[in-house]
Structure 1
Amino acid sequence: MTRIKIYGYILLALLPLLGGCEGYLDVNPKSEVTDKKLFSTAEGCEDAIYGIYAEMGNFANRNSLFSMMLSFKYPELMIGNFTVDSNDNTAYLVQRQWKQTNAVTAAENIWIAGYKVIGHVNKALMHILPKSDTEYRHVKLYKGELLALRAFLHFEMARLFAVSFASGDAAAKAKAIPYVTKYGIEVTPYSSLDKVFEQIVKDLTDAEGYLAEDESLVTAARTNAADGFSSCRITHFNLYAVQALLARAYWTMGKLDLAADYAEKVIDSGKFPLMTTAEAWNAVEAGTLNMQETICGLYSLPYTSNFYTYHIDSGANIELSDEYREVYATDEAGSDKRYSTWFNSATGQCIKHLNKMYASGESSPTYSGNSIPGLSLIRIPEMYYIVAEANLTTDPGKAMKYLDAVVTSRDLTSFEEREGKITADNIFNERRKEFYADGEDFFNMKRLQKDIELTGAGTFSGTDDATYTIPIPPSVEDNYRQ
């Protein structure tokens, strides 16, 4: 990329993780002076926003949210897509031994990392949101992206630490997570699950209004050239990412009609066409954003490095489950591009996110330069699955059309040419294949309360909230009792 600003990270003052839990409070007394200077120019505002994206995915340590924890590690291990030795520290979390020290530590790491970034977002919003919409050239983009980031991060925290909408535990639903909207020293109380998602939808709807310019800024033909804040928009929470997140939020809530409305907006934009040719598939480089199908992603070198270190390299402790073959054998009709492209059956490795820049012994250890190293947070196939599910009973023909669009783009025979109909299981199975190793299918299985069978660990019931809900760490609860 020609502009490296998006790779940078600018340190912001440390924030209270819950808007005011003293146990985590560490505020620089000079921070307000620094902040005023930082946010007094467009460049400073952009630096702060770039810093937030970088914090989400660019920290090289194992406690970064998306360079490992919430991408290919915990969600994938917990549904059995990857495995670890029973003596590994991570095994306690996989086995849902929530009171064991290592499992508690993992939960704390996710919670602290998530709410720290939320604090940074709120700090930036405190300075940028009051500004006139004409103060800087791209100030509306700044506002929209920050609101979208706040919604997205709370969404991720809720999906992990709150029970699902299908849960029968009314008390747990009444106390989901804190939705923090202010920077300061006040403790933000817990909100109910309904209120959390109400605020997620509000922030995303407000963001959508600020990001109208993306209708022209985001084009179907994309490159990795970045010449300023308004370029390379798939590395930002752009308009279509916001609409896709609204679709995902309503889908999670069980409001499928609203979910489908937003999903179709993204599809109908024509900005994110499915890959339907061999040329398109050959252009995809592992460990990078898919320049055709990614709606929003994070630039992250640590992500590609971590995937190699923890899954591919000698001594790696995360292994591909033997059962992955069964996933791709389900509903099989044709030669699935995903199976042949994303897995090395000879080595038993998932190479979906393996970039050669980190491969030991690679003669040319550098990426091609035609794409963006990192992870996709939202890809277009998800929108097709949402529309298919929403129309399954009301308009089966439309549902099959949207599912077949993805199926045929993956070189499989359409369901129309097979049974001539589809079921909910067909949609579920295609999701399992598409999002393998992405950290995404965990949440679909949670929503549907699917049982999980793990070799050597037994079966975890889908209707047991403990199967899919990480308990809020005791240290957090202690802060509320102070």
Structure 2
Amino acid sequence: MKQYLNKIALIILIALLASGCSDFLDVTPQDKILENQVFENEAGMQNVHNGLYLSLVSDDLYGRQLTMDAVEILGQQYNMTNNTSKSKIASYSYTESHPKAVFSNIWETGYKTILYANKFLESMEEHAGIVSKEKSDLLKGETIGIRAMLHFDMLRLYGPIYKVDPSLPAIPYYDTAVTANQPLISAKDLVAKILADLDKALELLKKDPILTSGKYNATTDFDANPYYSANRGLRMNYLAVKCLKARVLLYSGDKTGASAVANEVINFTKSTTFFPWTPFLEATNASNPDRIFSSENFFALSDYRLYTKQKALFDYNLANEAIYSPLLSRLTAVFESNDNDYRSLPSWKVPAVGGKTQKTFYKYEDVETKTKLFRLQIPMIRLSEMYLIAAETAPVPADGIAFLNTLRFNRGLTNLAATANVTTEVTKEYKKEFIGEGQLFFYYKRINSVTVPNGSAASGNISMGALQYVVPLPDIEVNFQ
């Protein structure tokens, strides 16, 4: 029966994700019968819900392009000089065929997943009573949080530079499983809808087991079914939604609001033992290095193909025109010539074989012990970001330096001088902290940095503006507006 339900869930996921943008939510009577069969019991509902997470780790979303590939290339994290197609992304040549295809696929998969989420929410309403209210709230809260996250990242990629003019048209917003394309709305209005979704998700997730039992093993009334209690850190949980809210508030320029939420999360972690800083010996363990600082992650995605992607992008056996790696001088500058930084030592090494003279990226390399809980995980939202948000939004510079020093101490670095510039130091930490996670380009865009270091040259910067920061809407959207 379980295998049958898995197949049915997969059929629905494929049906919803495989057809074109204008009609992929048309439901035939046969589809409705199939839906009723899937939602007739709890196991079927869980399988469809889990399909959302499977979609999130697709190559077009957080399984590759929005974490370690396209968005990192936009952030100038790698030297793409010898890679003919990827160099077009690095130079922001969005009208060229390869970038157009990449960003069209991101858009299409992102919105199909949003509409899949909406269809799931509607189906839950139609089949109310299959699970208890407590379980239903968890499923709905996660799904609405995912919907908000996807809209936000579509906004960050394709929307205008918010700091310059949030009133400009951005992207469409979907909160129902409609068949017609929705109009573009302004970035400001979209942020309001995203924040409303996040508040709704927080209300539904207020009894999330992660708050009382941590992210792996819960001891709650949900114990009879581990789908709701185990591995909460691999779900869009309450704390992940809180952190996402801080991220959105900061993006919108609400520093006071972002500071309050980030500090709330930080204070929660101080009051529990659930999210400790990852110690040096765990991060740099010779056989099983925890390069993703998993104890600090509020939300990570599990991707069983992660190590295949590591080899496809970063393996030392790849040809120079294929490997994603930075110029050594650029990487040295990022880590300020300090290999004792926990983020440098285990994740960046000159390989002993393969003929490479530059350091290559090991962050997502497999470890020896296959039972390690952090295996196959891609970090999505982490404690360090809350400290960076708290530092950036602190009303007193000394408080900002204190937050930065806490992060630095837990990465093996010395304290900053009291006279250090908070903005400069926050930028440095974004460059070090989130390599392979897709956050640096969005940071540059949020602060509207007028230049960024040229990743494909040993020195020099690239001038940035709307032509570089705003990915054009793909033809599949423009043609339906």
Fold-level similarity (TM above 0.5)? yes
* Alignment counterpart, residue 319 of structure 1, candidates 319, 324, 338: 324
SS at match of 2:62: helix
Q: Which of 75-84 and 196-205 deviates more?
A: 75-84
Alpha carbons 1:19, 1:187 under 8 Å: kept? no
**Cα–Cα, structure 1 residues 136 and 106, in superposed 2: closer, same or farther, change >3 Å?**
same
Alpha carbons 1:177, 1:190 under 8 Å: kept? yes
Alpha carbons 2:242, 2:265 under 8 Å: kept? yes
Tell me the distance in 2 between the aligned counterparts of 1:126 and 1:221. Answer: 28
Tell me the distance in 2 between the aligned counterparts of 1:283 and 1:243. Answer: 34
Name the TM-score, length of structure 2 as normaliser.
0.85
1:291-348 Cα offsets, whole Å, 9 max, x none, are 3111001100223321221211523513311111111117x6x931211122104542
**Cα–Cα, structure 1 residues 262 and 352, in superposed 2: closer, same or farther, change >3 Å?**
farther
Q: Which of 345-354 and 30-39 deviates more?
A: 345-354
Q: Once the 2 structures are TM-superposed, how far is the Cα of residue 221 of structure 1 from its aligned partner? A: 7.5
Q: What amino acid does structure 2 have at the position aligned with 1:145?
A: E
Q: What amino acid does structure 1 have at the position aligned with 2:260?
A: D
1:445 partnered with 2:444: yes
1:207-232 Cα offsets, whole Å, 9 max, x none, are 00011122555535846999332211
Name the TM-score, length of structure 1 as normaliser.
0.85
Tell me the distance in 2 between the aligned counterparts of 1:162 and 1:135. Answer: 39
**Cα–Cα, structure 1 residues 376 and 315, in superposed 2: closer, same or farther, change >3 Å?**
same
Q: What pairs up with 1:320-335 in 2 under 5 angstroms?
A: 320-322=325-327, 323-329=330-336, 335=340
Residue of structure 2 in register with 1:299 after alignment: 302
1:308 partnered with 2:285: no
Q: What amino acid does structure 1 have at the position aligned with 2:102?
A: A
SS at match of 2:378: strand
* Alignment counterpart, residue 180 of structure 1, candidates 174, 179, 194: 174
Q: What pairs up with 1:208-247 in 2 under 5 angstroms?
A: 208-214=202-208, 219-220=213-214, 222=216, 227-247=226-246
Alpha carbons 2:283, 2:291 under 8 Å: kept? no
Tell me the distance in 2 between the aligned counterparts of 1:132 and 1:28. Answer: 24
Tell me the distance in 2 between the aligned counterparts of 1:228 and 1:16. Answer: 24
Q: Which of 335-344 and 277-286 deviates more?
A: 277-286
Q: What amino acid does structure 1 have at the position aligned with 2:422?
A: T
Structure 1: tracts of 5 or more residues without a match: 358-363
* Alignment counterpart, residue 191 of structure 2, candidates 194, 197, 200: 197
SS at match of 1:194: helix
Q: Once the 2 structures are TM-superposed, how far is the Cα of residue 205 of structure 1 from its aligned partner? A: 0.3
Residue of structure 1 in register with 2:75 after alignment: 79
* Alignment counterpart, residue 390 of structure 1, candidates 379, 390, 393: 393
Tell me the distance in 2 between the aligned counterparts of 1:447 and 1:91. Answer: 23
Tell me the distance in 2 between the aligned counterparts of 1:283 and 1:43. Answer: 40
Tell me the distance in 1 between the aligned counterparts of 2:251 and 2:324. Answer: 29
1:336 partnered with 2:333: no
Tell me the distance in 2 between the aligned counterparts of 1:467 and 1:90. Answer: 15
Q: What amino acid does structure 2 have at the position aligned with 1:460?
A: I
1:152-198 Cα offsets, whole Å, 9 max, x none, are 01111111111121234x7xx43100111111322211111011111
SS at match of 1:298: strand
Q: What amino acid does structure 1 have at the position aligned with 2:76?
A: G
SS at match of 2:179: coil
1:43-75 Cα offsets, whole Å, 9 max, x none, are 222111111101111x4xxx4311111111011
SS at match of 1:66: coil
Tell me the distance in 2 between the aligned counterparts of 1:205 and 1:221. Answer: 21
Structure 2: tracts of 5 or more residues without a match: none
Residue of structure 2 in register with 1:121 after alignment: 117
Q: What pairs up with 1:17-36 in 2 under 5 angstroms?
A: 21-22=22-23, 29-36=29-36
SS at match of 1:356: coil
Q: What amino acid does structure 2 have at the position aligned with 1:40?
A: E
Tell me the distance in 2 between the aligned counterparts of 1:354 and 1:291. Answer: 12
Residue of structure 2 in register with 1:360 after alignment: none
Alpha carbons 2:26, 2:179 under 8 Å: kept? no
Alpha carbons 1:19, 1:180 under 8 Å: kept? no
Q: What amino acid does structure 1 have at the position aligned with 2:331?
A: Y
Tell me the distance in 1 between the aligned counterparts of 2:291 and 2:63. Answer: 12
SS at match of 2:345: helix
Q: Once the 2 structures are TM-superposed, how far is the Cα of residue 126 of structure 1 from its aligned partner? A: 0.8
1:140 partnered with 2:147: no
1:402-426 Cα offsets, whole Å, 9 max, x none, are 11110000111112xx345542101
Tell me the distance in 2 between the aligned counterparts of 1:351 and 1:456. Answer: 16
Q: Once the 2 structures are TM-superposed, how far is the Cα of residue 101 of structure 1 from its aligned partner? A: 1.5
Residue of structure 2 in register with 1:42 after alignment: 42
Tell me the distance in 2 between the aligned counterparts of 1:16 and 1:312. Answer: 31
**Cα–Cα, structure 1 residues 152 and 86, in superposed 2: closer, same or farther, change >3 Å?**
same
* Alignment counterpart, residue 70 of structure 1, candidates 66, 73, 80: 66
**Cα–Cα, structure 1 residues 367 and 152, in superposed 2: closer, same or farther, change >3 Å?**
same
Tell me the distance in 2 between the aligned counterparts of 1:144 and 1:19. Answer: 28
Q: How many residues align?
A: 453
1:413 partnered with 2:414: yes
Residue of structure 2 in register with 1:95 after alignment: 91
Residue of structure 1 in register with 2:155 after alignment: 158
1:112-135 Cα offsets, whole Å, 9 max, x none, are 111111111011011224636974
Residue of structure 2 in register with 1:361 after alignment: none
Tell me the distance in 1 between the aligned counterparts of 2:286 and 2:204. Answer: 33
**Cα–Cα, structure 1 residues 221 and 470, in superposed 2: closer, same or farther, change >3 Å?**
closer
- The sequence identity of aligned pairs, in percent, is 23
**Cα–Cα, structure 1 residues 455 and 128, in superposed 2: closer, same or farther, change >3 Å?**
closer
Alpha carbons 1:344, 1:351 under 8 Å: kept? yes
**Cα–Cα, structure 1 residues 20 and 110, in superposed 2: closer, same or farther, change >3 Å?**
closer
**Cα–Cα, structure 1 residues 137 and 201, in superposed 2: closer, same or farther, change >3 Å?**
closer
Q: Once the 2 structures are TM-superposed, how far is the Cα of residue 18 of structure 1 from its aligned partner? A: 11
Q: What amino acid does structure 1 have at the position aligned with 2:332?
A: R
Alpha carbons 1:311, 1:318 under 8 Å: kept? yes
SS at match of 1:297: strand
Tell me the distance in 2 between the aligned counterparts of 1:274 and 1:157. Answer: 31
